[in-house]
Structures are given as C-alpha cells and as structure tokens.
Chains A and B, each alone.
Chain A
Amino acid sequence: MHELAVCQALIDQVERVSRQHGRRRVLSVTVSVGVLSGVEGKLLEHAFPLAAAGTVAEEATLVVESVPVTVRCRTCRAETEAAPNRLVCGACRDWQVDVIAGEEMLLQRIEIEVETVAEAV
C-alpha cells in the first residue's frame, strides 16, 4: 500500500501552509479522496500519525471526506453516482459516460491554532 507515501506528501504540504502562517500548531487536516483515486481512506488514517510524528501536525486529526464516483452521460446528459467498477449512467444505463468526480485526492483545508491577543502580549 502506498498510503504512507501519500501521507508524507500531504504532511509536506501541511508544513508549507503552516510555515506561511507562522508555524502554528495544526489541529486538523481535511482531505477529499475520490473512490477512484486509488487511495483508501481508512489506510490514510492509519498512516497519517506515522507521517505526522515530529511535525507541526503531530497532534492533528485527519478528516477524510470520501467522494463518490459521479458520471455524466454523453447520451442523456444526466449526472449520477456510479460504482467504481461499473461506470454506467444511472438514468439511462448507457456506457458512454465521463467521470466528473471521484478521482480526486485533494488537501482541502487545515485548521491551525491562533493565540488570543491577551496571550500573545
């Protein structure tokens, strides 16, 4: 499985964003992972702490938003959900479809801790 390699790439990005914001402690990391991305959400969750150890995201929670496969039919134009190994239009059952969601593997957002003004003084 390649999820640790994916998490290491993710942590590199999280560290970059954190640096741009004064290296604040990262509280959560939200990713969206398509069912057709080739990455398993559960395995990402297991690998994340290993990649995050010793970084600003060491205590962060990983939130994985799973994105189902959506196809657009070339015949009837309907946009429907589909099983990853049966890419067929849910409306007219045509095989001539384009995948419009479900392949992505994105870092969506991170939450960082910001000290209050009183504490910063």
Chain B
Amino acid sequence: MCRDCGCSLGPSAARAPFAAQPAGPKASHGHVESIEVITAILDANDRVAAHNRAHFDAHGVLAVNLMSSPGSGKTSLLEATIRALQGELKLGVIEGDLATENDAARIRACGVPAVQITTGNACHLDAQMVHDALHELPLGGLDVLFVENVGNLVCPASFDLGAHRNVTLLSVTEGDDKPAKYPVMFRAGDLTLISKVDLLPHLEDFSVERARQSLRQVGFAGGILELSRRGGEGFAAWLGWLRSELASRRAAAA
C-alpha cells in the first residue's frame, strides 16, 4: 500500500537484501573504526523546515499545519474559515493528498490561492515538498498560510514543515481515545480542534470529557476547542485563535 515501508514488496522481499548483492571487494583483514556522529536523522528536513519558516517570517505570514485522520473535516473547516475571514485576512492553502486535485479545487472555489501537492503513495508531507509549493504561491500578499497535511495520524508527526503552529483535528465520529492510540501526533499539536460537534446528539459513544482526558494523559499542553464548521461559539474561538496567533507572530517579527 505504502511506498515508504516497502510493504508492497512483501515481508520476505523486504528482509532479503541484507544478504543480497555484496558491495565491492571485501577487505577481509581490515579492522573496525567506530565513529561517533550524534546528529538528528531528519537533520536535512529540519534545515529545509527552518528555511521555510524564515520565508514565512520574512513575509509576515502565519503558517499553520493542519493534521488529522482522513475525513475529520480539515478541508471543510478551511472552506468555512475562508468564508468567515473574507475581506479581513488574506489566506492561502497548500493541500497534501496522495492523489487528485479535488481539495485544492474546493479551496480555489472559495476564491483563495491553493497549491495541491500530490504525494503519490507517500504518507506525509515533508519540508522540501512544502518549499517547492511555496514557489507557486503569492506569499507576499498573504496573512495566513494553511498546510493541509495528508490525512494520517502517524507519519506527518515526524516531519517539521516549518509551520509556526500545528493544529490537530479530532472529529466526534472517531473514538474519544484517539489521543491515547496516537500519542505522538496529538502531543505534537499546539491546538486540538474537536470537530463536527454538531453531530454529538447522534453519537452515543463519543465523550468530549474523555477526549480531553485522553489528551491530558499524552501530555498535550495546548488549547482545546470544540467546534463545528456550521458556526457557533467554538468556531468563533478558532477564528479568534488565528487572529491572536497572527498578531503575536507579527509582534515578534517587528
């Protein structure tokens, strides 16, 4: 299914190359030298991420990375956010999906510039993909750039994209124990949005209190908002959060 873990090759093929095709002539009487390195494995990605962040800062843009499972309402939230902030803030969106331009088309239909990254079979965005997409966006004219990551609660958590804030969605149609199952992802967030709360009356099994408790147990220290894209208090608080994050970002840059 996924290019990265090599699972389409099957377990035997994935394990075999240890023994296959020896490289070059073997020096049988050499001795071994151990070299201490101690660097972050994703050092190269982190450097590109820092470069992206510098781009955002130079243009006074707040960059927000949206992460969640597929179907928890990231694109719908963006559509509602664009409509609500029309005439107030200039928004742009980078969409990440394995395939199709569908989400970018939905965003463009709201009158906002959007770049679609199609990752093929890759399960996450990395800093380089975002960097390449930045060259297709009019960064200078934007206030907030959203990066909608590939719907996946595992892989995107390991890759810094250079965004200032990570926002994770947990929809009430999922289990309220999702944070306990995916602790790395939920810990990585600065804000958790419990989404689709307008559906709560129809869902017996989801407890907002249990979801909050699960978030606390994985050490999530950020804010938690309950919202629906159809408006209301939580949605207003989300818009308020964006305004205040943008204001503090610009104050820090000044």
Contacts and interface: CB of A to CB of B under 8 A. Distances in A.
Contact of A111 (B2, B21, B33, B44): B33
A95 to B, nearest CB: 6
A105 B219 contact: no
Interface in B24-74: 24, 26-27, 29-45
Interface in A46-78: 46-47, 49-50, 52-56, 58-59, 61, 71
Interface string A38-51: 11000100110110
Nearest to B26: A25
A39 B6 contact: no
A86 B217 contact: yes
B35 A109 contact: yes
A17 interface: yes
Given A13-B41, A109-B35, A2 B158 contact: yes
Interface string B201-227: 000000000000010111100000000
B28 to A, nearest CB: 9
Given A49-B18, A53-B21, A87-B218, A3 B5 contact: yes
A46 B6 contact: yes
B183 A13 contact: no
B122 interface: yes
Contact of A27 (B4, B7, B11, B32): B32
B3 interface: yes
Nearest to B6: A50
Nearest to B188: A38
A98 B45 CA distance: 25
* Prevailing SS type, chain B contact patch: mixed
A1 B41 contact: no
A27 to B, nearest CB: 6
Interface string A84-118: 11111000000101010000111111111111101
A2 B41 CA distance: 13
8 contacts: A2-B4, A17-B35, A24-B33, A46-B11, A49-B15, A52-B17, A85-B214, A87-B219
Interface of A: 1-6, 9-10, 12-13, 17, 21, 24-25, 27, 31, 36-39, 43, 46-47, 49-50, 52-56, 58-59, 61, 71, 84-88, 95, 97, 99, 104-116, 118-119
Given A52-B17, A86-B217, A111-B34, 10 more contacts: A2-B154, A2-B158, A3-B5, A25-B26, A46-B5, A95-B216, A106-B38, A109-B36, A109-B38, A119-B29
